[in-house]
């Protein structure tokens, strides 16, 4: 059975944790879906992990659609959610509807995610939900605002904490089906969990969430800047490098080259 926003709401009632990861392409998506991951996010972190940018800001809507199409081709069960990239939704509701509409129509994904909870965005979420587009919220550390916030834990003073709590409540009231809580204290996560009834999915936000999400490249040891809260479950970077070296060794051996040694990585 395909996972839907309603499935997530039911699992929250049943106390069944939601397990989410990001994917950027068909191959990863197919493996993660086959492994039973419930929610696959085509996150705008792909700007860094797949495209080599230093922030999420350069990513375009066309970039996201290109990657999301590939991810959707690899998924049969998981709920696929696609990030609305920077400046594809912040201008006004009409821009957000056009961008989210393109994502749903062109990729086959079932939902979009956007960052923040300031008043004009709440209006936008209301409009998107009204016309039938499932929206996932995202508060706490919101990387599209990185030049204001830096990559550090958010909500560290009472005013900042109250703002994040208010955003979470406003997003719920506007109709988001689920909320990502990124890099906030477990104490604040606890306060949010006591005030809202929609499922929460945490990343560096403690264990009081209804589910957890990680960037798959962090989980697999690929990342150049590993977040402090992301456990490395496999060192694929080393595995791939070793396989490439073994292949080089074979090519040199098979070629019966007069070149006496395998070049080292610098040559
Ligand atoms: O872009 C992304 O990968 C995300 C996750 C960190 C939740 O938004």
Rounded distance, CA 153 to CA 191, Å?
16
Other beta carbons within 10 Å of 36: 9
Nearest CA, atom 6, ligand 1: 215
Query: How many angstroms does the Cα of residue 238 sit away from the middle of ligand 1?
Result: 24
Minimum-distance ligand 1 atom for the alpha carbon of 201: 7
Does the active-site annotation cover 182? yes
Give the pLDDT score at 260: 59
Query: Is the CB–ligand 1 distance for residue 180 below 6 Å?
Result: yes
Give Cβ neighbours of residue 223 (< 8 Å, ≥ 6 apart).
Answer: 49, 215, 217, 230
Q: Which tens digits make up the pLDDT trace of 164-175?
A: 999 999 999 999
Minimum-distance ligand 1 atom for the alpha carbon of 45: 1
Query: Is the CB–ligand 1 distance for residue 115 below 6 Å?
Result: no
Give the pLDDT score at 261: 63
DSSP code, position 8: H
Q: Which of 22, 24, 58, 201 to mutate to test the pocket of ligand 1 (most atoms within 8 A of CB)?
A: 22
Give the pLDDT score at 267: 46
Give the pLDDT score at 224: 81
Give the pLDDT score at 246: 93
Q: Which tens digits make up the pLDDT trace of 103-122?
A: 999 999 999 999 999 999 99
pTM score of the predicted model? 0.95
The parts of the chain modelled with pLDDT lower than 50 are 267
């Amino acid at each position: 059975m395909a996972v839907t926003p309603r499935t997530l709401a039911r699992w929250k009632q049943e106390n069944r944790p939601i397990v989410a990861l990001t994917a950027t392409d068909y191959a990863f998506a197919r493996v993660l879906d086959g492994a039973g991951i419930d929610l696959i996010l085509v996150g705008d972190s792909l700007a860094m992990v797949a495209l080599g940018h230093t922030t999420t800001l350069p990513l375009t809507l066309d970039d996201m659609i290109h990657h999301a199409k590939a991810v959707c081709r690899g998924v049969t069960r998981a709920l696929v959610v696609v990030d609305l990239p920077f400046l594809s939704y912040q201008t006004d509701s009409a821009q957000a509807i056009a961008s989210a509409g393109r994502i749903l129509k062109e990729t086959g994904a079932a939902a979009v995610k956007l960052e923040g909870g300031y008043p004009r965005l709440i209006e936008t979420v209301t409009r998107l939900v009204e016309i039938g587009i499932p929206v996932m919220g995202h508060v706490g550390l919101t990387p599209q605002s990185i030049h204001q916030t830096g990559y550090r834990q958010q909500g560290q003073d009472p005013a900042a904490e109250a703002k994040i709590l208010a955003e979470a409540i406003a997003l719920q009231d506007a109709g988001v089906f689920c909320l990502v809580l990124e890099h906030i204290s477990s104490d604040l996560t606890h306060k949010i969990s006591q005030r809202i009834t929609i499922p929460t999915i945490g990343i560096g936000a403690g264990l009081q969430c209804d589910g957890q999400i990680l960037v798959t490249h962090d989980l697999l040891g690929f990342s150049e800047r590993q977040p402090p809260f992301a456990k490395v479950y496999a060192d694929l970077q080393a595995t791939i490098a070793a396989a490439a070296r073994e292949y080089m060794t074979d090519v040199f051996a098979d070629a019966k080259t007069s070149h006496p040694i395998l070049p080292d990585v610098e040559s």
